[in-house]
Amino acid sequence: MAIADRKPSLLGLPDERHDHQRVAVNVLGRYMLEDRREFPCQVVDMSPGGMAVIAPVNGHDGERVIAYVDQFGRLEGTIVRVFGNGFAISFAATARKRDKLTARLARFAKRDTVDAAAERRDD
């Protein structure tokens, strides 16, 4: 596929292939960079392998990050891509932690689907 054929993502970047399926989320959290500075963030998509966040301060490629994300808890990883208004993190997690995150993401996605169906239902 040519780069021009790729559709832009929510963050204005071309869609890319990932190891895990991404789930669109809209949850708040906080993250800490290697220099121990802490900032609020908004997670816009997540998979068992990583997440993309909108953030006021970007780290740099390869920098370690610890994030505390509402409904998902503590997540550790490395910045793998920086863009204008945030960055993407690849998680450093055990297989068990990834399995737990997969289950939480599935429940999160199912809940959003159920909530959307309930909103469309006529009274």
Q: What is the pLDDT of residues 15-36, one digit of tens each?
A: 444 555 788 999 999 999 999 9
Contact 106, 91 (CB under 8 A): no
Please indicate whether residue 3 or residue 65 has the higher confidence score (pLDDT).
65
48 Cβ contact partners less than 8 Å away, ≥ 6 residues apart: 20, 91, 93, 98, 99, 101, 102, 105
pTM comes to 0.73
Average pLDDT over residues 51-68: 96
